[in-house]
Amino acid sequence: MQRRKLGRSGLEVSALGLGCMGMSFGYGPAGEKREMAALIRRAFEQGVTLFDTAEVYGPYVNEELVGEALEEFRGRVVIATKFGFKLDPAGGPKWIGLDSRPRHIREVAEASLKRLRVEAIDLFYQHRVDPEVPIEDVAGAVGDLIREGKVKHFGLSEPGVGTIRRAHAVQPVTAVQSEYSLWTRGPEKEVLPALEELGIGFVPYSPLGKGYLTGKITEDTSFAAGDFRNILPRFTAEARAANGALVELLARIGEARGATPAQVALAWLLAQKPWIVPIPGTTKAARLDENNAAAKVELSETELTEIETAAARIPVVGARYPEHLEKLTGV
């Protein structure tokens, strides 16, 4: 697989990474651990070198899965994890608030190092901006961990431009991770231009619209208990029916060149900027193979223009998150 550099940081990774959250959390029952570990190793064998996890995924168990699966490949992969949530001390798969206090950041880093079985965290994201803690303090705390050799690179997830600039002035930001796809294009207006100016890489999560852009989800699809798409406004049956035109567009472009809607969606992202590295997730080997093959799909200028023109006429129906979760983004 081709490789890309995340901005001007020098951090080089595969053109497509692997989002590991859904293997343990968020999309219904967790996958069987041995099967998921095998899937992660299969991704590495296909050239994937960027693997994304977080302490809150599970919580904890996804980091443990990724750490165990990739232990033999240490030094040849980049593992990204995250801090910033306050987890329920009583246990269970839920968070009870934000916490990016410097002391908590250090506690999370120490625990993540153990679960990931590494000596340094390759890329350490603030999972969501904490309005109670100045971003300068957050950047300073991660900077201390970098100087101590416990973290290599600093990242931010779902920040606004002001936060990015303030953090970057204290500790250079290597990558920003936010949702971005053909049906979630918020970062284009302000975030992407700022990242290009500052030399920061961009890592789109949910690049396949949480599965919708694959064309495998219809208005009749039922999601398992525990699948968080059950609470997302964009995944009501009505919204799914209304948004079908976007999938039809991807299918039409793909049909002409023997590619699937998912592959076209990923190829479109890769074509936006050379420092963009999407991290699609899956629990199935066939889907992994399909996604990674998208790295070889190069859309022509004519195809990109056709997608852009057609997509501009397709309004996306439904908010991406419920209001209480949407408030945590773009700060």
CA neighbor of 179 nearest in space, from 161, 199, 198, 202: 202
57, 180, 205, 212: the catalytic one is 57
Catalytic annotation present for 57: yes
Taking the C-alpha atoms of residue 310 and residue 236, their distance in angstroms, rounded to an integer, is: 23
* C-beta separation of 192 from 167 below 8 A: no
Is the Cβ–Cβ distance between 1 and 14 less than 8 Å? yes
Residue 50 CA from chain centroid, whole number: 11
Q: Catalogue the active-site residues.
A: 57
